[in-house]
Amino acid sequence: METNAEIVQRWRYLRDLLIDQLARFEDGAMKMHSGGVDVSSGAIAKLKQNILDFDTLIHRGEAREP
């Protein structure tokens, strides 16, 4: 079983990858063809907010650890 520190480390790695990919979508360096999946700027903004919300949950969990 992973420790909280390992989970946080894994989340930060995945988060950084996702943020980098979102930035590439926004600046046009990366494009996606989708079968009905919303990849609009609104969807990207919502995903970014979800990342920030999860960061807050992680931070709160870290603050509770002894």
Cα–Cα distances in angstroms (integers) from residue 26 to residues 33, 34, 63, in the given order: 15, 16, 33
Q: What is the pLDDT of residue 65?
A: 65
Report d(CA 40, CA 60) in Å as an integer: 31
pLDDT-based confidence at residue 66 (cuts at 50, 70, 90): low
- Of 37, 15, 39, 14, nearest to 25 by C-alpha is 39
pLDDT tens per residue across span 27-65: 878 777 777 776 777 888 888 898 889 888 887 876 676
- What is the pLDDT, as a whole number, of residue 13? 92
In the chain, what are the domain boundaries? 4-64
Q: Is the pTM for the entire model greater than 0.85?
A: no
